[in-house]
Amino acid sequence: MAAQLRQLRQQIKTVKSTAKITRAQEMIATSRIVKAQAAVAASKPYADRITQALSALVSHRVGIDHPLLHEQPTDNRSAVLIITSDRGFCGAYNANVIREAESLITALREQGREPVPYVVGNKGITWYRFRDREVAETWHGFSDRPGFADAERIGRRLTEDFLKTDAEGGVGEIHVVYTEFVSMLTQKVQVRRLMPLEVAEGDGDGQVLPTYEFEPSAQAALDLLLPNYVESRIFHMLLQSAASFQASVRRAMKSATDNANELLGVYTRQMNQARQAAITQEISEIVGGADALAESGGE
């Protein structure tokens, strides 16, 4: 009985320590979500403006051209950019992204294309390396707080590979798998085709886009805007993934804290029952001993 009580006390102590850690992680993630949401909101005006300018340029200028705007049917390889996290303790966040990426890879193979993974985040890198999967390029160390310089590195590599031929190791199209931050409770894994670019010839509400004057020329502006547009989209996806990661950490840590508190209640009840049983046994032994002494004295 005493051994059982010692074991239960040790289990309660361990669970309490775990609950403190998970509670602290939950509070940290909650504070970081606010910053991540602010970063997403801050990047939106630039992304909207460059999209509007690019759409207006393509809509009003006839005769301008760029390789990023066209399909490349002769290239049989498809790049798949997979955005995961560098850290864990985030529930099914990375598993959902990788599962969606694998579904996309399977679909591309069924179409007769050769998928080429490009992976962001240590968790995705580890998953593919453990299974000896070929990966074209990896990036890590910034999934929590991505910067525009990180998006530039990724965008430039993808753009360079898109402009190459299959013989040069290039790709004919680029897809991105990332997690969109909808709310604190909802994050959705999304699959987007990044290239070839699909630029709408309007603002989405049927309004005619404004006419711009471009210097030194419309073609030169297009050559500059398209890479920036690609990088801004990747940056937005990185920020969305970062916010979704923090929300997933918060949800996972809250669930862990709740489970720890529930387990703590179970262990506490078991310890109280064991203690009560020990006290009852001691009382019974004392009463039995007293009865035995009384009987021996009476004789």
Do the beta carbons of residue 153 and residue 141 sit within 8 Å?
no
Which fold, 2-19+253-289? Helix Hairpins (1.10.287)
Would strands 173-181 and 77-83 be described as parallel, antiparallel, or unpaired?
parallel
Is the pLDDT reported for residue 243 higher than 80? yes
100: Cα separation from own chain's centroid? 12
Q: Render pLDDT for 199-219 as a digit per residue (tens, 0 to 9).
A: 555 555 555 556 667 677 767
The answer for residues whose C-beta is within 8 angstroms of residue 235's C-beta and 6 or more apart is 43, 47, 146, 148, 150, 151
Positive or negative, the CA dihedral 68, 72, 75, 81 is: positive
Instruction: Quote the radius of gyration of the chain (alpha carbons, Å).
Output: 30
Report, as an integer, the average pLDDT of 31-50.
84
CATH topology of 2-19+253-289 equal to that of 28-249?
no
- List the beta bridge partners of residue 177: 82, 191
Q: Which CATH number applies to 28-249?
A: 3.40.1380.10
What's the mean per-residue pLDDT of the chain?
A: 83
- Residue spans of the domains in the chain: they are 2-19+253-289, 28-249
Amino acid in position 207: Q
Give all strands (DSSP E) within the chain, no chain letters: 77-83, 114-120, 137-139, 173-181, 187-195
Q: Render pLDDT for 58-106 as a digit per residue (tens, 0 to 9).
A: 665 555 666 666 666 667 889 999 999 999 888 899 999 999 999 999 9
Supply the pLDDT for residue 191: 93
Q: How far apart are CA 268 and CA 265, in angstroms?
A: 5
